[in-house]
Structure 1
Amino acid sequence: MSTLIVPVDLTAYCIGTLDAAGPARAFAGGSTDYSNQVSRDRPAFLGLNVSRDPSQAPLWPMEQGVHLHWAMPDALTRAPQGDALRFPALPNRWLVSRIAPDALTSRHWIVQSDLLSDTPPAAGHAPTVPVAVAAANGQPTQRGFRFLGATQVFDAGWSDPAPAANAARGLRAQTGADLHAVATGDIAFAAFYPNSRGVFGFHDDLTDLNPGPDGVALLYTVTGWYADPTQDPLRGAPTLAQLQQTLGWTCASADPKADRSLYNGLIQGLVWNPHTRYVDDAPTPIDGDVAIGNHPAEALAAYFRGLNSPATPIYEELLTLYATGLLPGLSAPAPGQLALLEETLHALQFSAQDAGTIYTVTRDDAEAIDLPLPLADALNQLNLLRLAADASAVQVRQARWQLFSAWLRLFSVDSGNQQAALSAFSSQFALQGAIDRHQREADDAVAAQAAAVRALLGSELTLTTAPAPSYRGPAEPVLLLAGDAAAPALRYGGDGRYHPSGYLPCRLADAVLDTVSIGPSTTLRAASYAPLAPPAPNRLPDPAVGALVLEAALLCTVIGARASGLAPAALAADLTAWTESGAARYYASAQGLPPSAVGVGAWPGANPWCSLAVLWQGHYHPLLATAQAGAAVDYPPRYFTANYLLDPNAPGAIAYQPGADGIHIDPASIDFDSRDPASGTHLYQGLSILSAASADNLRNQLARDLARQPDATLQTIADQLAATDISMQSMTGLNDQLLSRRRSLQLSIGVSAT
C-alpha cells in the first residue's frame, strides 16, 4: 500500500509591530465564543450569548508576526445530502515548518487540531466548543466549554500521545463528534482564520529571528494527517475511479493502491520585517458594482441590463428567461405564451414550501380515474383527513416556535416587562398538550381511513402518496457583487481549476520530488538540504512528511536563484507555469513529479485579499409608525390603496404614490439613522457567504450556446463575464428579520443553575 499526497492551499498574512497596535485591532474576530454560554443579562443558554457580530471588537486581535491559514480540500468540506448533515472528519495533526532560505535554517511545530483543554494555550488564543462537564458527588453533568487545538514546538522527542490518553482529551470523546468543517456550529469555522486559528491556522511570532534592515525571506510548508487511520477517507484503498467519483481527486497512477493520505501545501516569497507596515491605516474603499434580484438569474440579468441597456426593461426579462433555460419556449409562438412566461418568472421569485401529502390510487403506476363511487368517496375523505392532519402538523411546529420565542423573551426583556413575558410563556405552554393531542388524533384518523381505503382496492389498485402542490413564500433577495473585490476565493471550491476534468491532482508518496533541475546546469538534491528536515529520530506517521519539507526547499525560488544565478522573479513565474501545466523554461524534474499549483503558493508582495463573505445592511422606515406612546397603532382600512400603486404591467412591483388621503413624505427628508430611536427607522443586517457558482454556470451556458449559434448580445455578455469577477449570495435571514425573528446559533434549551 502507498500514501497519497493531497495538495492544500496555504496562505499567509503579515502583521508588523505598528499594524498590531493599530489597524489590525479593528479586524473582525471569531464569530463564536462558548466561554460564556449564559450571561448576567441573559441567564439562559442562548445562541445570542455565544454569537459575536463581525462589528464587535475581536476577542484576540491579530498579533505581530506571520499568520498562516490552510484551506481544506473541497471534498472534505461537503456533507452528503440527506436528512442529517454529516460532514467528513478532517485531518487533525499538522506539521508546520518554516524555512529561512538565506540562512538555510528551519523550525517546526506540531498542531494537534482536535485536542481539548480546560485552560487556554500559552498564547491565550483558541477557539472554544461546548462540552458536558462532569460534576462532583454524583450530580448531573454541567454545561461548560473547552479550548480547541494545541500547538507545540516539534523536536526529536515528540510523539503523538498514547491513544487512550489522547482519546480522553480529544474532541470526539468529549462531544461525540469528529473534527469537521463546521465543528463549532459556524459554517465558516474551517474557512475563516479567526474561527480556526490553532486548528487550521498557525501564528508564528518570529521572535526567534533577527531580521536585518531588508527583512528576512521566509517559506512555510504544512503537512497534515489523521491521527486515527480509521477516519482517513482513503481507508480501504479506493481505486482511481472511486477517488475521482467520490472525492474529485486523481493521480498519475492508474492503480494507486493508497490507503493513507497526507495533506500538503507551501507558501513562499514572504519578506518579514517587524518595522514594515503591512496593513494600511486607511484601507482602499471597495470598488465594484452591486445588483439585487429575487434569485441569482434575476440578479445577473439586472446587472447586465444596467451595464448594457438600462433603458430597456425587456432586456432584463429576456436575460432572466435565458439564464433559467426558459427562453427556448419563445421560439414557437403559442396562445397565452407570454402570459405563461410572465407567470413563470413571477413564480421564480418565490420559494417552495412543503404543503403536506395527497393520496392517489394507481393502476400499473398510472393514476386511476375511473374509481367506483364508494372508493372515490373513501379516497376523498382520506385526503380531507390528510389535509387536516397536515394543518395540525403545521400548527404543532408553529406552536413550538411560539413557545420557544416566548421562552427566549423571558431573558430578553427588562425587569419591568418580565411578568408580562412570563404570563405569555405560561399561556403558550398551557396550550401545548392540547395541540400535540390534536395532532395525534388527526394522524390516527388518517391511518384508520387509509386502512378503510386499502380494503376497497382489490388486487389491481394501489394506494400511493405524493407531495401536495407547494405553498409559496418570498425568496430571500440575492445580492450580487461585481469587480475586483468580488474575485472568488478559489481556495474554496476551486480545487479542480488546474485539471481539464476538474479533478484535484494528487501524487503518490514515491513521486515527491527528490531532485530538481533548474536551467541547463543546476541540479538540486533533497539530500543536500537534510538539515532543514524535522529533527530525527522522529515519530512522524510517514517518511513522506519529512520528504515534503525537503521538497519545499527544492521549490524555494530563493534557494534556486542562488544556486542557478537566475533572478528569483523569473524562477517564481517559471515555477507557477511548471506546477500549473507541467511546461516550464527552467524547471525540470530528474526524479519525482511537481505538486499541483493548488498546493504551491507565492506571497504576492502584500497581504492577500480573499473574498469570503459580505456584510449587508438595510434601513427601513415605515410610512406609518407601528406604535405610538407605547401602544400599537391600528392601520386605516385604506392604508395600502391610499399610498401605494400596483402596476399591472410590472408584476410584483409596488410604487409609493400617495393619493389625496395618503401620507405624504419626501424620502429625502427621512432620518435613516437606526441608532436614534426617535428616527423610527429599523435596521436589518446579516452576513452572507459569497459564491461564484451562479456566474460560472452562466459562463458555461454562454460558451455552449455560442459554440452552436453566434449571437452578438450573448457574445457581449460572455466577454464581460470573462473580464469581470462576480460573486453573489442570498441575503440570508432577511425574511426572518421582517417577521421580527433573528437567526443565530442556538444551544440546547436550558437555564443556568445559578
Structure 2
Amino acid sequence: MTTLLVPVALDVLVVREPGAASDWADTALTRPIPPASGRVQQDLLPEPFSARSTARPAGAHLHWGLPDGLTRGVADDTGATTFPPVPDRWLVVRLSGAATPGPRAVEAWLLPYAGAIEPVRVDRVLTGPTLPAPGPAPRSPLTALGHGDLGWAGYYDNVTHRFALHDELTGVTGPVAYLVVGWYTDPTRDPLHVTGETAYAERMEDLGWQVHEPDDEDGDEDQPVPDRSVYHAAAVSIGWPTPNWPGDGGLLGRETDYRPAPDQVALALGETLAEALAAVAAEPDDPSEAARMVEALLQGALADVTGADGPARLDASLHQSRFGSAPAAAGNEYIWQPATGSGGAAGGGSFVQVERTRPRVWHALEPTLVVTGGGRSPKHGADGRYSELGTLLCRLDGQTVRGFGVAGGDAGRGAAVLPPTPLAGLLPQYGVPAVATDLLVELASIDPGSAPDLALSTATQPSPVAAARAAWWASFDPGVGDPTSAPPGAVVEGQLPSPVGVTPPSRPWNPLLLEWSGSYLPSPRGAHDWPLGEVDFELPAAVTEPPAETGRTLRGRVMLSASAAALLDGTIDAQDAERDLLSGELVGIAEQLRRDATGLVVDAPNATDTAQPPQPPRAPDFVALRAGYLRVDRARLVDGFGRFVEVLGPEVATPAPVTHGATLAVPGHPDLAALRPRFTAPARVLLRFADATGALRDADAGISPVCGYLVPSLVDRTLEFFDDKGSGYGRLRPDPETVTAWEEDPGRPATLGAPPSRFLPNPLLGRFADRMLAADHALATARAGGHPAGGAQSALESLLRVLDTTRWTVDVTGRAGDEHLALLLGRPVAVVRAYLKVEVEDPRQPPENARTGVPVRLGTLSRSQDGLLAYCVGDDLDRLHIVDPAVALLAPGLPDESGAAGLPGADPITSPYVDTSGTFTVNPGVPVPLTLLMVPGSDVHVTAGLVPQKAVGLLREWTAPALSRLSPALRYGPVLRDLETTRLPLPQDVRGSWHWHRRNAPGEWTSDSVVPTTPDALLPNEPSVTSEGWLQVALVADTEYYDAAVPVRVSCVRTVNGTTVGLGGLNGDGSHFLIPVPEAIELIGSGRFAFFVQEPGTARVAIRVVRPRTGRPYLRTVADDASPNNLDSLPECNHVR
C-alpha cells in the first residue's frame, strides 16, 4: 500500500492573555434545526458586529484548512453541485520540553468523528483510551460546506473538534511544536480510491495535486500509484508561556502579527469587481474614460472598442456586466399536431402540449467591495503557489524528512530527540496510518525547538542546527528561493515538505469577511429622478443628499476572497497581481430592502419538496424598485479566529478611505455611492415582432410583422405607400391648400377624396397614412385661421426629414440584401408591427410595479446596424417618436427647387406631430403595441436601464420577396416623346419592363411601354409632343430573372481546408474556367448570370448567395432530393486557372 502525503495549512493562535469577550467577533454558524416537514429558511450566521459570549481562553488554538482540491464542487446536468467528502479522523501530536538532553515530551489528541453530528475529542490517546460511541450519523458525508455555508470550514468556532483543537498548554514550558495528521476511516471516500494509473492521473489533475520529484532523482523511474491519501501539517518553534524560549537566541520564537493597522487599509466600491479594481488603480486626476478603459481591460472587452460601433458596444457590454442572469421558467402551450398516414390525409390530428423556453431574466448585482492592505492570507485558495504548474506539491510515504542538520556538524536527526517508540500507545482501533510515526520524526527534524544542539545557543544567537532550520523559512517567500531545497550549509535527509504544510511562529491573520453597516437613502421621486441615458440611468442634474430620516439602515457580511488578484493575473505584471487585495460582494441589499426572509434553506429529515420556502408577509416598507444612494458608515475585517480590526466608523481614529468606481461616484458627495434604479426582483424586457394585422401574437416564419413599405422622395417631397407584397397604392404629397394630400399611384382609380385607409390593404398602414393626413389638415386649418401653431412644419415634411437624417446613421451592408432599387429609386422603409413588454418575476407581485412607469428608449444612433428610423407607441398614430432628440435639432431642411438642402440645425423640427423626447414609458406587465419604421434587414435596440440593452433583428425572408418587386413611380417631365413611341434614357443594370404613365384626361390613365434611347440620331416621322407623367419599372420576378440570365453550369469546385474557394466548369468552346467565389458572388448579384449544378438525368439546381448576419457571404445550392448542398458532391477542379 502506497500513501500520498498531502500538506494542509495550519494556523496556531497562541492566547496568553484572554482579555474581554468584546475583543472577539462571533463567527460561529448556528446549527440548523430541521422542521417537521417542508422547507424553511433559518438565519444561521450571527448578526454583523456581534461579539463572542466569552473571551477566547488561554492556550494554543489550532485550526487547519482543507486542501483546495477538496473545496471545489462539481455541477451536474441538473445544476446541483456536489462537493467531495473530507477526511473524518484527525490525530494531533504535540512536542514540548527541552530537546537537550531530551527526549522531548510527546502528547496526542484524537478527533475520531469529525463528520459526526456531535464531534468529540479524545485526550491523552497515547495512554490508549477506548473510543466513545460515535453517536448519530449524518445523512451524508462531511464536506467543506458543513451546514451549507461556503465559508463554514474557515472559522475556528465552526469546526472545533473537526478541524480545530484547543490545547490549554497546562504545565508546559519552552518550545512547542504540533503535528496534525488526517485520513478517511472509510477508504471508499478517499479521493484516491480509483483503479488504474489513468484514473489516478486524472484524479490528481482534477484535484490540482502533483507528486514532487527532487531534481537529483531519476525522473525516468516509475513511481508507485498511491491508493490512499494522508493529510499532514506542522507548526514549529512556538514559545510558551512567552514567545521566546530557551535556546532560540532571542530570535526564533518571535511571532509576527499579520493583522494590519486601520490606517493601512483602503476600501473601493464598484458596480463590478473590475470597476472597483479600476477605482483602486485610478489616480485623482485621471479622467473617467481612463477608468472605463481599465474596466474594459479587466473584463476582456477591449476588443469591442476597436470594432465597428466600438464605444457603443463597450458601453452595452459593461452595462450588462452589472447584471446576473438566470433561465426563466419554461412555459407550456398547445399546438396542433397533424396525424400521420391516412389520418393525416383526412385532416386528422390533435392538440399536444409543448414546453417553450422563455427568455432569461436579469437581476441587478450588488456592489463589489475591494479591500487593499487587509492582510490577505494564502491559507485558502493558494495551495499551488510553490509550483510552476500551480499545483499542490505532495510526496509519497518514504520521502519524509529524517534529518535536518548542518554540513560537517550535527546531522539533526529527528528520531534522536524522540522516545524510541513515540506513538506506541495508540490503539489499533484508532486506525492511525503507519506513516504518522515518520511524520512525527519529520516534525522533530524540521522544528528549531527540537534541534539536538540547543545547548550551543547564546542569548543572541541560536544553535547552528536551529539556525539552519529557521533559515529554511526565508525560502517560503516564492521570490527568495526554492522552498523544496535545503538552504546553503544545511544537510537534509529526505524530501522537504511543501511550505503549505509548515507554519513558523506567528500570530495568524486570515481575513474571511468584512462586516459592514450603512444607509440606503432613497431618491425622493424614485426612478423618476434619474434620466435614462444611452444605456443606463444617469445621475440627476443636481444631486441633493436625501434626508437621513428617509433612509434605511443596512447591514451585511462580505465574504472575502482573492478573486481580485485572480482577475489581475495575466493583465498586469505578476508583481502587481500579488498585491494585498481582497474582494467580495455586498450581498443582501435587495433582500433587506424587500424584507424577505434570509438565511439558508433547511429541509425536513425526509423532505422531497424542492420548492422555495414560503416568504413572510409583506413589510410596510417593502421596496420593489430601488433608486438612491448608499453610504457605508462602519466596517471591520474579521478573521477565522474571530480577531478583527475596525477600519471604518466613528470610533476609528484614522478611518480607511473609501473610493467609488466611475458609475458609483457622486460628484460633490464623496461618501455616497449611486444606486441606479433597479428592480429588486428578476426582470426582463421583451421586444417581439407581432402579426402585421394588429393581432397580439408573435411573428414567425408563417406570420409576417411587415405591414407595408414607405418610399420617401426628398426631391418631390412625397411619401409613397406599398403593401407587404411590394405593390404600390399611392403617395402623400404637398398640397397648397390642405398642406398634404393623398394621390393614388399611376394606373389606379382616382380616390376622389377618400382616405388612404380605404385602399391600403393593411389597416395599420392605412391608419398611419390617415393620421398623418389628418395632422396636416389640422395644420392647414391653423394656418388659415392665423393660429401660431400654423408656423410648424407639416407632418409629411417632418417625417421625410426624420427618415433622411436617421437613415444616414444606418449601415446594413451585407445584411439587407440587394433585391430593391434603393440607390436608383429611393430607400424603402419597412412598416413593422411589434409589441414591448416589461416583465418582473416578483413572487410578491407588488401592485406598485404595475403603477411604475418604466422609461424605454427604442433605437440608437450609435449602432450602425440599428435601423429604427421612427416609431409610434400604442394605437396613438397621431404622434411620431424619434430615436434621439438630436434628430429633431439637427435634421437638415428638404431640398429646394435648386436641389440645395438646408443646413443642419438651421430649422429644428417643431411639429406637434413629432415627439422629440426620445423615450416613452411602459408599465410592467402591460404589452404596448408599436409601429416601427425600419430599414429592411436591420436591428432595433431597446434600452430600459433596468435590464441590459438588447437587439432584435428583422428576418430577411420577411422583406426580400416584396423588395424584389417593389418599384416606385418617378414623377418626370416635361419630356419630348413621339406620338408613336416613347423613348427615354433608362439604366442598363435594371432588369424589367419600363412604362410611362400619363393622364389623357382627369381620372383616365394611359400607359406606354418605354423604349431605351440609343446613341443614334433618329428623326421622328411625326412631330414630338411634351408630356408629364410617371416612369415605373416592373421588375422581373425571381424565376424569370434566372431564366433570362446567362446560364453557367458548375461541374467542379476548388476547396481549401474543406471550404469552397472557387467554381469551375467548361466554356462553350470546351475551355475550362475557374472563378474565385468572391467574383462568382458579384456575377450572381449582377443578375446577368445564373450559376447552377446539374447531375446527369436531373433538373438544374440553382446556386444562391447566402449573406449571414455576421461573417462573409458564401455560396450554396438550393436543397433538393439529391443533397442539402450539391456543391459538396462536386469533384475537385484539377485544371489550373
Q: Give the TM-score taking structure 2 as reference length.
A: 0.45
Q: 1:466 to 1:291 in 2, by over 3 A?
A: farther
Cα 1:330/1:283, change in 2 over 3 Å: closer
Which residue identity does 1:695 align to in structure 2? A
1:257 is the counterpart of 2:251: no
Q: Work out whether residues 235 and 260 of structure 1, in 8 Å CA contact, stay in contact via their aligned partners in 2.
A: yes
- Aligned equivalent of 1:746, options 601, 616, 624: 601
In the alignment, the residues of structure 1 paired with residue 489 and residue 565 of structure 2 have an alpha-carbon distance, to the nearest angstrom, of 37
Distance 1:735 1:192 in 2: 27
Distance in 2, matches of 1:149 and 1:453, equals 69
Q: Which residue of 1 aligns with 2:377?
A: 489
Structure 2 counterpart of 1:613:
513
Between the aligned partners of 2:385 and 2:576, the Cα distance in structure 1 is 20
Tell me whether 89-98 or 568-577 shows the greater mean CA deviation. Answer: 568-577
SS in 2 for 1:534: coil
Q: 1:245 to 1:296 in 2, by over 3 A?
A: same
One-letter code aligned to 1:105:
A
Moved more, 592-601 or 515-524: 515-524
Q: Which residue of 2 aligns with 1:192?
A: 155
Distance in 1 between residues matched to 2:536 and 2:594, nearest whole Å: 23
C-alpha separation in 2, matches of 1:620 and 1:733: 13
Q: Counterparts of 1:610 and 1:450 in 2: how far apart (Å)?
A: 63
Could you tell me which of 364, 388, 392 is aligned with 1:504? 392
Structure 1 unpaired stretches of 5+: 39-43, 117-145, 358-388, 390-442, 457-462, 625-637, 659-664, 672-678, 704-717
Matched, 1:99 2:95: yes
Please give the per-residue CA displacement for 1:501-533, whole angstroms capped at 9, x wherever unaligned.
Answer: 011111111111223332322213343234182
**1:346 touches 1:652 (CA, 8 Å); kept in 2?**
no
- Name the counterpart of 2:75: 81
Residue deviations 1:207-234 (CA, integer Å, cap 9, x gap): 132x3xxxx2211111011111121111
| Distance (whole Å) between structure 2 residues aligned to residue 587 and residue 353 of structure 1 | 58
- In structure 2, the partner of 1:688 is 558
Structure 1 position 352 matched with structure 2 position 325:
yes
Tell me whether 1:513 sits opposite 2:401 in the alignment: yes
Residue identity opposite 1:242 in structure 2 = E
Helix, strand or coil at the partner of 1:233 = coil
Mapped contact 1:352–1:471 kept (Cα < 8 A): yes
Tell me the equivalent position of 2:111. Answer: 111
Matched, 1:68 2:68: no
Supply the distance in 1 between the matched residues of 2:336 and 2:52 (Cα, whole angstroms): 60
| Residue aligned with 1:584, SS | coil
**Which amino acid is 1:29 matched to?**
D
2-side partners of 1:595 and 1:278: how far apart? 22
Partner in structure 2 of residue 10 of structure 1: 10
Paired with 2:315 and 2:580, the residues of 1 have a C-alpha distance of 30
Instruction: State the alpha-carbon separation in 1 of the partners of residues 340 and 423 from structure 2.
Output: 74
Alpha-carbon shift at residue 97 of structure 1 (Å): 0.9
State the distance in 2 between where 1:650 and 1:657 align. Answer: 20
Partner of 1:28: 25
Matched, 1:473 2:363: yes
How far does the alpha carbon of each residue in 1:169-198 deviate from its partner, in whole angstroms, 9 at most, with x for none?
A: 25xx3x311111122233222111111111
Q: How does 1:300-319 map to 2 (within 5 A)?
A: 300-305=277-282, 308=283, 310-319=285-294
Q: Secondary structure at the match of 1:738?
A: helix
Secondary structure of 1:346's partner?
helix
2-structure distance, mates of 1:311, 1:482: 20
Give the match's secondary structure for 1:190.
helix
Cα distance in 1, alignment partners of residues 576 and 284 from structure 2: 14
**Deviation by residue 1:711-745 (Cα, 9 ceiling, x = unmatched):** xxxxxxx76545x3111111122222232224212
Report the CA distance between 1:583 and its aligned residue: 4.5
In structure 2, the partner of 1:600 is 502
Structure 1 residues 677-700: Cα deviation after superposition (integer angstroms, max 9, x where no partner)? xx4431112112211123223232
Structure 1 residue 544 displacement after superposition:
0.6
- 262-271 vs 239-248, which moves further: 239-248
Letter in 2 for 1:614: L
CA RMSD of superposed structures (Å): 3.6
CA contact (8 A) 2:48 2:556 kept: no
Report the Cα offset of residue 275 of structure 1.
Answer: 11
Task: Tell me how far 1:47 sits from its aligned partner.
Answer: 4.7
Name the SS of the counterpart of 2:171 in structure 1: coil
Please give the residue correspondences for 1:131-530 in structure 2 after superposition, counting only pairs within 5 Å: 147-158=118-129, 166=134, 169=135, 173=137, 175-209=138-172, 211=173, 216-236=174-194, 239=197, 241-252=201-212, 254-273=222-241, 284-285=261-262, 287-305=264-282, 308=283, 310-332=285-307, 334=308, 336-356=309-329, 389=331, 443=332, 445-446=333-334, 449=336, 468-483=358-373, 485=374, 487-530=375-418
The equivalent of 1:729 in structure 2 is 584
Q: Would the aligned equivalents of 1:188 and 1:195 in 2 still touch at CA under 8 Å? A: no
Hey, what's the Cα distance between the residues in 2 that align with 1:479 and 1:452? 60
Counterpart of 1:502 in structure 2: which amino acid? G
Residue identity over aligned pairs, in percent, reads 26
The alpha-carbon distance between structure 1 residues 513 and 465, as it changes in their structure 2 partners (threshold 3 A), is farther
**Mapped partners of 2:340, 2:498: distance in 1:** 63
CA shift in 2, pair 1:298/1:510, >3 Å: same
Partner of 1:99, secondary structure, is strand
1-structure distance, mates of 2:13, 2:362: 46
TM-aligned CA distance change 1:50 to 1:314, over 3 Å: closer
**1:2-58 deviation per Cα after TM superposition (whole angstroms, max 9, x unaligned):** 011100111111112xx3242x553123432338789xxxxx996546442243332
Higher relative contact order (Cα pairs below 8 Å, separated by 6+ residues):
1
Assess, with a 3 A threshold, how the Cα gap between structure 1 residues 340 and 328 changes in structure 2: closer, same or farther: closer
The structure-2 alpha-carbon separation of the partners of 1:79 and 1:251, relative to structure 1 and needing over 3 Å to count, comes to: same
1:349 CA drift (Å): 1.3
* 2:124 counterpart letter in structure 1: V
* Structure in which a larger fraction of residues adopt helix: 1
Secondary structure of the residue aligned to 1:322 is helix
- For each residue in 1:413-454, what CA deviation from the matched residue of structure 2 results, as whole angstroms up to 9, or x when unmatched? xxxxxxxxxxxxxxxxxxxxxxxxxxxxxx4x44x6578899
User: Which blocks of at least 5 consecutive residues in structure 2 are unaligned?
Assistant: 214-221, 245-253, 345-352, 457-462, 476-480, 606-612, 614-1137
CA–CA distance in structure 2, aligned partners of residues 451 and 176 of structure 1: 50
Q: Is the 8 A contact 2:407 2:490 kept in 1?
A: yes
Residue 520 to residue 567, structure 1, CA distance change in 2 (3 Å): closer
Residues 454-505 of structure 1: CA deviation (Å, up to 9, x unaligned):
999xxxxxx999964433221121111112x1x3321101111101101111
CA contact (8 A) 1:96 1:220 kept: yes
What displacement does 1:537 show? 5.8
> Within 2, Cα distance between the matches of 1:77 and 1:109?
25
Q: Which amino acid aligns with 2:206?
A: T
Closer/same/farther in 2, CA of residues 478 and 609 from structure 1, 3 Å limit: same
- The answer to whether the Cα contact below 8 Å between 1:575 and 1:584 also exists between their aligned partners in 2 is no
CA distance in 1: counterparts of 2:188 and 2:303, whole angstroms: 51
Q: Amino acid of the residue matched to residue 4 of structure 1?
A: L
Aligned: 1:702 with 2:602: no
Distance 1:749 1:111, change over 3 A: closer
Distance 2:226 2:130 in 1: 24
Q: Distance in 2 between matches of 1:640 and 1:595?
A: 59
What is the identity, as a one-letter code, of the residue corresponding to 1:263?
A: Y
